[in-house]
Amino acid sequence: MNAMKKGWNKRIILCILAFILCVQPVLAITLDDTKPVEAQLSKEMLKALRQKRVELVAGRTVAASIIKDVQTLQFNIKGTSYKWNSSNKKVAVVSKKGVVRPLQKGTTKITAKKGGKTYACKLTIEEPQLNKTRIRIPVGTVTSIRLTGTNKVVRYSSSNPDVVYVYSNGYIRARKNGIAYVYATVGTMKTYTCKVTVAPDPTPIPTVTPTPVPGTIIIVEPEVIPTQDKYTYVLNSKTKKVHMPDCRYIRTGSHWKYVNWTLDYIIYHENYSYCGHCHPEKYR
Ligand SMILES: [Zn+2]
């Protein structure tokens, strides 16, 4: 009777594990660029992302990072009565039960000891910050916003792409007068907002030149080529295809280039061909 009960318990645990494994890929869903990511995830998905679980391995140091005030951390460790310690108690403290409380950004080493075995985790507490929260720019100009203080993937999006168009690397283009909010979402669970007002300058100020972010795409705007077209195009130098900036086949990488050239120049001089999906020729 007891053995049967144990067998059922095992089956229930296996079901729960299978469910967790099934839920993970669902998080990689396609998201709508115009809405902050957190608004698009279900409560269950957000909860799973916020309660980060880290597996500890005897004799090894694993690495983990969490966002302060957003994520909590739990360790997966067999049994109880471990001796827990945090090497930097200003950054994070750990309770007798192994529950981590983040205090400020920085790095600490959390250790659990029992019976001659040591389990360790190098833990980084992140506190991301948006470099700008309010911008006023004139129509036709380009600038950039950047979320610093995190190594996690940051997604940028716009509340109104007709007013402010946002590229995946945080560059923003003012398209027409109005107000739009640019969102930077980190780790798909916390959104930082920058209010962008597109309006003529009350007093002339120097043109904003975007500072290239290392490892991301640089917008190329050669002065020698006259700009006649309304749209900026996106080039893939590997496939030699030209895309509209909102084409869903655009990815990031060093072979992707945002240009403000004319279509004629791109097609006849640079020898690019049209993307079969967004086909820029149709939008001329
Ligand atoms: Zn395309």
What letter does residue 69 receive in the DSSP assignment? T
The whole domain housing 273 covers 217-284
With a CB cutoff of 8 Å and minimum separation 6, the contacts of 281 are 263, 274
Query: Ligand 1: distance of its center to the CA of 47 in Å?
Result: 35
User: Of 71, 105, 126, which closes a domain?
Assistant: 126
Angstrom distance (rounded) from CA 37 to CA 34? 9
> How many separate helices (H) and strands (E) can be counted in the chain?
4, 22
pLDDT for residue 164 is more than 90: yes
Ramachandran angles phi, psi of 220, nearest 5°? -100, 120
Residue 28 lies in a domain: no
| pLDDT digit string, tens, across residues 33-87 | 556 656 666 777 777 777 888 999 999 999 999 998 888 888 888 888 899 999 9
Residue 8: its pLDDT value, please?
54
Angstrom distance (rounded) from CA 175 to CA 231? 9
Residue 81 lies in a domain: yes
Residue 114 lies in a domain: yes
Residue 160 lies in a domain: yes
Residue 26: its pLDDT value, please?
40
Angstrom distance (rounded) from CA 124 to CA 268? 51
Same domain, 97 and 133: no
Residue 38: its pLDDT value, please?
61
Q: For the whole model, what pTM was predicted?
A: 0.54
Beta-bridged to residue 259, according to DSSP, are 220, 233
Query: Ligand 1: distance of its center to the CA of 244 in Å?
Result: 6
Residue 14 lies in a domain: no
Residue 185 lies in a domain: yes
Query: Ligand 1: distance of its center to the CA of 185 in Å?
Result: 24
Query: Ligand 1: distance of its center to the CA of 6 in Å?
Result: 56
Mean pLDDT (the chain, rounded) = 78
Angstrom distance (rounded) from CA 111 to CA 175? 52
| pLDDT digit string, tens, across residues 226-272 | 444 445 789 999 999 999 888 888 888 888 888 878 888 888 888 89
Residue 207 lies in a domain: yes
Same domain, 107 and 186: no
Query: Ligand 1: distance of its center to the CA of 209 in Å?
Result: 27
Q: What is the mean pLDDT of residues 179-200?
A: 87
| pLDDT digit string, tens, across residues 11-32 | 544 444 444 444 443 444 455 6
How many domains would you assign to the chain?
Answer: 3
- 7 CB neighbour count, 10 Å cutoff: 10
pLDDT for residue 5 is more than 60: no
pLDDT for residue 208 is more than 60: no
Pairing of strands 72-76, 51-55: parallel
253: left (phi over 0), alpha (psi -120 to 50) or beta: left
Tokens representing 54 are 């880290």
Same domain, 47 and 87: yes
Q: Most confidently modeled of 71-80, 88-97, 146-155, 167-176?
A: 88-97
Query: Ligand 1: distance of its center to the CA of 276 in Å?
Result: 6
- Contact (CB, 8 A) for 40 and 191: no
Residue 64 lies in a domain: yes
Query: Ligand 1: distance of its center to the CA of 238 in Å?
Result: 14
Residue 198: its pLDDT value, please?
92
Q: What CATH number is given to the structural domain containing 197?
A: 2.60.40.1080
Same domain, 211 and 221: no
Query: Ligand 1: distance of its center to the CA of 248 in Å?
Result: 7
Query: Ligand 1: distance of its center to the CA of 249 in Å?
Result: 5
